[in-house]
Amino acid sequence: MITQSDQENHLPKSTVRRYLKLLAPGTPLRAGIDRILHGRTGALIVLGNNTQVQQVSSGGFKIGVECTEQSLRELAKLDGAIVLSNDLSHIVAAGVHLVPAGDLPTAETGTRHRSADRTAQVARIPVVTVSASMSTVSMFHEGHRHIVETVPQVISRANQTLAALSRVVTRLGDLMDQFTPLEMAETVTLRDLTHVVHRLELTRRLSSEMQFHIDLLGIEGRMVALQHAELAANFYGIGDLLVADYAGNVSDPSEFDLAKLHNFSPEELFSGQLVAERLGFGTGANLEQHVETRGIRLLTKVGRLPASLVTKLIDDFTLQELFGASVSVLMEIEGIGPTRARQIRDALLRITETS
């Protein structure tokens, strides 16, 4: 599979995602490559066809057949490259001799790998090589070579990431359990908020890396995908709720954007001062200053409340008033009848008890 470092350092994320999925187990292309690998014949496969590919192609046979694992395996026995259509559904030609310019820079020494590297540079289309002698699969794109790892290698790394994500999610849950009573008492400080935001960003990064592994594994990643989905459910939507609750504490609410932390280094992310500054609180912000919450995240714990009703509750009550409101007081709000008023009151009491 394509490695995580390749994703971050070289290829645009969208490009990586597209081609890693095409090379994932369970796809016709990967099944054909595995057959070639097991047959020890080697192969050179161009993942697309454009004017530049045609210009560096010489000889071969026009095929125009459906791309199946069987056809890939048989045509790989011919000398030369296999050229696929842009949607990879058909084999355009086989036995093609690729002759890109010999002065293009490459660190490769083998004939097949040099041709793949230079063709990928000229055509700006990935080229895959299957090495019979080394039993390896590589993808060349824009001057870089990316090793396509085996399923066991990716599963091992995915399990390590999953374990790390599980620990971080547990810590985030503990932190939120401490954060909720502070919100109810209206005693949240900027330091408390940056701690939560920092842990949430760590969780997002590990979750993103986990999804990368799942994409690489294809049909082999079903089990880890289920485990990841279960963990992700614990923090899904928290970021949006924090923005809705706390953006009003900065002069320009649009500055309170958690996406601004995506490019923070781990060291920067651990600095509450830097996190606060990036979120719009200004240079040298006092981390002990109190910040106010609108209470939207707390009210989502009530469950099944329409957004319009949440807005009414927030507009009509402070948090202290809301948690102390009786059923009769809640019924005075338009849209809240006796049944819903009791449900809201019972839910608020449960939040108070559990916090």
Tens digit of each residue's pLDDT (9 = 90 or more) over 90-130:
999 999 999 999 899 999 988 899 999 999 999 999 999 99
Contacts of 239 (CB under 8 A, 6+ apart): 200, 204, 258
Q: Is the pLDDT of residue 134 over 70?
A: yes
Distances (CA, A) of 348 to 119, 132, 134, 237: 64, 66, 64, 20
Give dist(CA 158, CA 55) in Å, integer.
41
Give the containing element (helix H, strand E) for 75.
helix 69-75
Picking from 311, 318, 355, the residue whose alpha carbon sits closest to that of residue 336 is 311
The b-or-e profile of 237-252 (16+ CB within 10 A means b, else e) is: ebbebbbbbbbebbee
In the predicted model, is pLDDT for residue 62 greater than 80?
Answer: yes
Q: Is 288 among the domain residues? A: no
Residue 200 has pLDDT above 70, yes or no: yes
CATH number at residue 192: 1.20.1260.110
The Cα 273–Cα 284 span in angstroms is 7
Q: Does the residue 290 lie in any domain?
A: no
Q: Is 342 helix (H, G, I), strand (E, B) or coil?
A: helix
**CA-CA distance, 39 to 42, in Å (whole number)?**
8
In a shared domain, residues 219 and 312 = no
| Residue that finishes a domain, picked among 279, 306, 336 | 279
Per-residue confidence band for 315, with pLDDT thresholds at 50, 70 and 90: confident
List the structure tokens of 335. 């849209």
pLDDT over threshold 50, residue 272: yes
91, 120, 148 - which closes a domain: 148
Tell me the whole-structure pTM to 2 decimals: 0.77
Same domain for 274 and 216: yes
The CB-side HSE value for 40 (13 A sphere, CA atoms) comes to: 2
Give which of 250, 252, 257, 246 is closest to 293, Cα–Cα. 246
The pLDDT assigned to 60 comes to: 93
pLDDT of residue 115: 94
Q: Are residues 156 and 232 in the same domain?
A: yes
Same domain, 63 and 25: yes
What is the Cα–Cα distance from 211 to 227, expressed in whole angstroms? Answer: 11
- Domain membership of residue 291 (yes or no) is no
Q: Are 83 and 53 in contact (CB under 8 A)?
A: yes
193 and 180 share a domain?
yes
Residue 8 placed within a domain? no
114 and 97 within one domain: yes
- 87: domain CATH number is 3.40.1700.10
Structural contact between residues 305 and 335, judged by C-beta atoms closer than 8 angstroms: no
In 3D space, the residue among 199, 134, 163, 144 whose CA is nearest the CA of residue 5 turns out to be: 144
In the predicted structure, residue 216 carries a pLDDT above the cut 90: no
Q: Does 134 share its domain with 178?
A: no
Tokens of 155: 């599963």
Same domain, 212 and 242: yes
Within this chain, do residues 311 and 211 fall inside the same structural domain, yes or no?
no
pLDDT value, residue 259: 94
Is 142 found in the same domain as 35? yes
Do 67 and 122 fall into the same domain? Answer: yes
Confidence of residue 6 (pLDDT cuts 50, 70, 90): very low
The two tokens of residue 209 are 């890396």
Q: What is the pLDDT of residue 309?
A: 79
Q: Is residue 213 part of a domain?
A: yes
The answer as to whether 7 is a domain residue is no
Average pLDDT of the chain?
88
Span 9-33, pLDDT tens digits: 444 556 767 777 788 888 889 999 9
With a CB cutoff of 8 Å and minimum separation 6, the contacts of 104 are 117, 118, 121, 122
Cα(167)–Cα(203) distance, integer angstroms: 9
**CATH number (domain holding residue 328):** 1.10.150.20
Residues 275 and 309 in one domain: no
Q: Is the pLDDT of residue 242 over 50?
A: yes
**Which of 94, 114, 148 is the endpoint of a domain?**
148
Tally the domains of the chain.
3
Domain span at residue 229 reads: 152-279
30 domain-assigned:
yes
Range in 68-82, 180-194, 241-255, 288-302 the model is least confident about: 288-302
What is the percent of the chain where pLDDT is above 90? 58
Nearest to 33 by CA among 2, 76, 89, 92: 76
What is the rounded CA–CA span in Å between residue 227 and residue 224?
5
Any domain includes 4: no
8 falls in which pLDDT band (50, 70, 90)?
very low
Helix axes 13-22, 190-217, angle to 10 degrees: 40
Confidence of residue 72 (pLDDT cuts 50, 70, 90): very high
Tell me the C-alpha distance between 349 and 302, whole Å: 10
pLDDT at 313: 83
